[in-house]
Structure 1
């Protein structure tokens, strides 16, 4: 009832304001009052003025920044160049949950360094994060540009494979990582990580294909999701 009384009081104030502000004669008061009464009727019908106040907690839907991913990007690909500043700013925005801002900063960086593969990789990662782990066409294009400028680069191939794996494209991820692992020295720790991830992808692909054919999957297949990025550098 209190809410309805407050609404009625506000309607009265608004009505008087309209009459005085527009300098309407009293004969026009009826249409104004009718419109306000219709509004009050709608509020009384659709609203719930008698309900008690209920505080609502804010929904924090920000994407958590992956520190390990940023560290690995620095270890296997980046070198201190003029383009580094754009990646630093982008990471700072991503840490605050502003994934759109993180991607937009890198787009600005590409205007200054359009052929920098590291910025393209960073943009691909930022767009994947903005899409909650989905390899969108824009993210796929960013990785494709990184591979265009560094076809055999470790960082573009590694992170493209990771994005493919996390989005469920296991076959393509396996192909990318197998080719990358074949080019790395045997004593590289990253190569060992890639081999482990490829083995996991093979198990996931086998399980997926078995389920698609309606047959039982092997009992010893690992219960795991997409491969995760490690912290080891080359």
Structure 2
């Protein structure tokens, strides 16, 4: 039965990457291969019957890191690049090294406490370093990102994404819908958020067909 849960988590990870994070079709094979590589390694060395067995395959971390960085940058479309600390942290995040990414981002917010993108990137790095768990430190980082950029839906979006990964799809959907409702009509990030919300609706229906919790269309 443990393998059924592991395979279900792998399938959910692929669906999230392909639909919600909009992984390009050309990258599907790479991401799928990363998942299969991780599962194969776990089959050889893991112990799924033990309660403390490792939960995530390292093979998929670089793919996830690249997607997270690209998704975050969509909400900060500006000619001005991020700070040097954020840029360096992104390089670590793309390789799946979220611990070092978080360390650089702590320097970024220490240098400039009003750097909303640095706070957001720190929240993302802390969630990934905790294997998808919303820790108190990550929640604080998301809160600071929201405080320093009150008109930007990025903290709400990534907070919702963390809820989605924790299996709280309906709650995540509510956050994204609220952010979209409050978004200015001419906001550059509005079409991307609307598309993600539509994909999440489809994912909820696919995961729970006929459920009363599925959003009305």
Shorter-chain TM range is: 0.5 to 0.7
**Residues 83, 108 of structure 2: 8 Å contact kept:** no
Where structure 2 has 5 or more consecutive residues not aligned to the other structure, the ranges are 1-44, 46-56
**Residues 174, 201 of structure 1: 8 Å contact kept:** no
Aligned to 1:126: 125
CA distance in 2, matches of 1:132, 1:156: 19
CA distance in 2, matches of 1:109, 1:186: 30
Please report how far the alpha carbon of residue 61 of structure 1 lies from its aligned counterpart in structure 2 after TM superposition. 3.5
CA distance in 1, matches of 2:113, 2:162: 22
Aligned to 2:58: 61
Q: Alignment partner for residue 198 of structure 2, among 196, 199, 219?
A: 196
Please report how far the alpha carbon of residue 65 of structure 1 lies from its aligned counterpart in structure 2 after TM superposition. 4.4
Please report how far the alpha carbon of residue 152 of structure 1 lies from its aligned counterpart in structure 2 after TM superposition. 2.7
Q: Deviations over 1:177-228 (max 9, x none)?
A: 01111133389421431331452465378x4xxxxxxxxx639x99xxxxxx
Aligned to 1:174: 173
Q: How does 1:1-234 map to 2 (within 5 A)?
A: 61=58, 63-66=61-64, 67-77=66-76, 79=78, 81=80, 83-184=82-183, 185=185, 188-200=190-202, 202-203=204-205, 207=208, 218=210
**CA spacing shift, 1:113–1:65, aligned 2, 3 Å:** farther
Where structure 1 has 5 or more consecutive residues not aligned to the other structure, the ranges are 1-56, 208-216, 223-234
What TM-score comes out, normalization by structure 1 length? 0.55
**Residues 117, 147 of structure 1: 8 Å contact kept:** yes
**CA spacing shift, 1:195–1:82, aligned 2, 3 Å:** closer
Paired residues, number:
154
**Residues 127, 133 of structure 2: 8 Å contact kept:** yes
Q: Whose radius of gyration is greater, 1 or 2? A: 1
Please report how far the alpha carbon of residue 82 of structure 1 lies from its aligned counterpart in structure 2 after TM superposition. 7.6
Please report how far the alpha carbon of residue 106 of structure 1 lies from its aligned counterpart in structure 2 after TM superposition. 0.2
**Residues 181, 194 of structure 1: 8 Å contact kept:** no
**CA spacing shift, 1:204–1:194, aligned 2, 3 Å:** same
CA distance in 2, matches of 1:167, 1:65: 19
